[in-house]
Amino acid sequence: MAAVARVSLRPRFAATALGGACLQACRGAQTAAAAAPRIKKFAIYRWDPDKTGDKPRMQTYEIDLNKCGPMVLDALIKIKNEMDSTLTFRRSCREGICGSCAMNINGGNTLACTRRIDTDLNKVSKIYPLPHMYVIKDLVPDLSNFYAQYKSIEPYLKKKDESQGGKQQYLQSIEDREKLVITPSLSWLEGFRCTDVIREECPAGVGWAAA
């Protein structure tokens, strides 16, 4: 009886071993596939006006998308941290709110933190500073004119009696709060990416600051 039991266990053991080998082989193949590099090229506008003799140019960087986050801002941060510390751009919230990382990506004005990387490895992603604005360096536009326009319209609450300033707070109604939001997903803080478009249509106006 014992011999019969031993014989009956052998096929089961062989099947289990075969199944384990197949599973390991499959996992190995998946690991190898995941490890295959996915090289993406980024052509980025470079220019330092303060550097004598420096001229605007496009500089190309290559990134393995397997080792990078999904957003264009992730790629820019990776380039600056690991490849070229001289690359200059603005960033702050990384949540699509502040507008600091507004730039022109593949022909459209958008936010680098909300724009996904085009995963087509045959296409080069091209990144420029916002058009129709002076450039401080690389992808950093000069916002001096924007802030001057913003200041000119004095977009803040004013008390009728300034002598009572600071003695009592003003309550903000729900209706007044809603006036600060243009759409449910777009607040005035996100306006930097629209500034250059409005300026192109109406150069003499205050642009986005009017909102």
Q: What is the pLDDT of residue 168?
A: 72
The answer to whether residues 57 and 112 belong to one domain is yes
Distance of CA 188 to the CA centre of its chain: 18
**Residue 26 maps to a domain:** no
Q: What is the pLDDT of residue 44?
A: 99
DSSP state of 51: S
Mean pLDDT in consecutive groups of 10 residues from the start of the chain, 211 residues:
50 54 61 78 97 96 97 98 98 90 96 97 97 94 90 80 70 80 55 58 56 51
The answer to whether residues 200 and 170 belong to one domain is yes
End-to-end CA distance of the chain: 91
Total tally of structural domains belonging to the chain:
2
The answer to whether residues 62 and 153 belong to one domain is no
The domain in which residue 172 lies consists of: 144-210
Domain boundary among 81, 107, 141: 141
The answer to whether residues 137 and 149 belong to one domain is no
**Residue 28 maps to a domain:** no
Q: pTM of the entire structure?
A: 0.67
The answer to whether residues 173 and 89 belong to one domain is no
Domain boundary among 85, 117, 141: 141
The answer to whether residues 150 and 85 belong to one domain is no
**Residue 16 maps to a domain:** no
What are the phi and psi torsion angles at 46 (to 5°)?
A: -125, 135
**Cα torsion through 65, 85, 147, 167, rounded to 10:** 90
pLDDT in tens, 154-170: 887 777 776 766 677 77
The structure tokens listed for 179 are 């006036």
**Residue 61 maps to a domain:** yes
Domain boundary among 95, 124, 141: 141
C-alpha angle 81/85/91, rounded to 5°? 70
Site of tokens 């992808």 = 139
pLDDT in tens, 64-104: 999 999 999 999 999 999 999 999 999 999 988 888 999 99
- Backbone CA torsion sign across 153, 112, 116, 201: positive
Q: Identify the CATH number of the domain in which residue 72 sits.
A: 3.10.20.30
Q: Which stretch of DSSP H or E encloses residue 126?
A: strand 125-128
Q: What is the pLDDT of residue 7?
A: 47
The answer to whether residues 156 and 169 belong to one domain is yes
**Residue 8 maps to a domain:** no
The answer to whether residues 113 and 77 belong to one domain is yes
